[in-house]
Amino acid sequence: SSGINAEWPLRPGGGPGAQGSAGPRGPAGAPGIGGLKGVQGPAGANLGIENCPGGAKGEPGKSGLPGKAAENIQLNPYIVAFHSQKNVAPKCLEGMTELWTGYSFMFVDVSKNVAGQSLSAPGSCWREFYVNNMMECRQTFCTNTKAEYSFWLSTAIEDSMTHDSYPQSTSYAEDPELVKRFISRCAVCVSDYKLMAVHSYTKDLPTTEAASLSQSGWEIAYSGYSFSFQTGAGRGFGSAFQGHGSCLKLFSPINIAQTNGQDVRWVSTNFKSYWIMDYSHLDGMNPYEAAYDEDWSVVTKQDRDAFIAKRLGKCYVMKKTKKAIALRGFYYADPDA
């Protein structure tokens, strides 16, 4: 017997059966070898304090501690002028700020009409030196006038000089530098403290008056000589005695330069300067007698030194101290400051 069941006859093979379910996960394989290094990427954005985007708004901080009391503020500063009586500009005092420098103008005389500037005020310091600096205007026309005379503070006489050392009548058009060499220079300054002149009316400095003022917040800025006013052709102009312009640092019998047209001159019998004298030598005089006349030569340095020592009035320019300003404050409220 061949083992073949006769009841199941032989037939051809069938098609593929259905796919079976996935078998269990096999064990992990061995690690692979490392890959190659990648190409470097582009640089990132450069963000600093200035261009970094702002973060979220923070919470309000705590209140700070109370600040210190504010210092006194000078709301209206003093504008003042100083005159060197030399052909170089003076320096402002400590704590001041210079605004401009120029030439020391005193007054103008036009057809016997006089107008001037106090030497304490900025209007006395012109940025340029001018001859023919005024025009006379009427209803229908304006014109220069030959009757115009302007007067400028001159450089003070030096120790080695006499009145003959100054130029004679000189044309500004022909030699402007020579003329300017004998014109005083000036500076205009901004100050946060007040200045005041104190005069002794004697040949001695007003030390007693200065000591008294120091008790109320004043101190000495500088000393000088008590100048009253200056005349040209019989008319003149001066400074108020409380103004620091009435206390000139230098005494000079040659004190002005006159311009008329292009002509400039320093020496004339018409030019007179007036200074406070020592009144003590008048003690015992009969007040009903004629005016007291006494000539003092001031031609040489020795003459001038003797006059200064024995007759010329002395003065101090005082300034408010920083402490006084801080404690009380001093503002430019009074017209005579």
Q: Are 135 and 144 in contact (CB under 8 A)?
A: yes
Average pLDDT, the chain: 85
Once rounded to an integer, what is the mean pLDDT over residues 87-101?
96
Q: Is the pLDDT of residue 137 over 60?
A: yes
In angstroms, rounded to a whole number, what is the distance separating the alpha carbons of residues 258 and 34? Answer: 104
pTM, whole model, 2 decimals?
0.73
In angstroms, rounded to a whole number, what is the distance separating the alpha carbons of residues 39 and 28? Answer: 31
Q: What is the largest CA-CA distance in the chain?
A: 193
**pLDDT (tens digit per residue) in 32-76:** 777 777 778 777 666 666 667 777 888 888 888 887 765 555 556
Cα torsion for 71, 75, 76, 82, to the nearest 10°? 40
Once rounded to an integer, what is the mean pLDDT over residues 129-136?
86
Q: Is the pLDDT of residue 319 over 80?
A: yes
Once rounded to an integer, what is the mean pLDDT over residues 101-114?
92
Q: Is the pLDDT of residue 116 over 60?
A: yes
In angstroms, rounded to a whole number, what is the distance separating the alpha carbons of residues 222 and 318? Answer: 7
The reported pLDDT for the residue numbered 135 is 84
Residue located via tokens 């009074």 = 334
Which stretch of 215-229, 264-278, 313-327 has the lowest confidence by average pLDDT? Answer: 313-327
Once rounded to an integer, what is the mean pLDDT over residues 187-194?
94
> Which tokens sit at 109?
């005389």
Q: Is the pLDDT of residue 7 over 70?
A: no
Q: Is the pLDDT of residue 337 over 60?
A: no
N-to-C CA span, the chain: 155
**pLDDT (tens digit per residue) in 264-306:** 999 998 899 999 999 887 777 776 665 566 788 999 999 999 9
- 37-47 burial by CB neighbour count: b if 16+ within 10 A, else e? eeeeeeeeeee
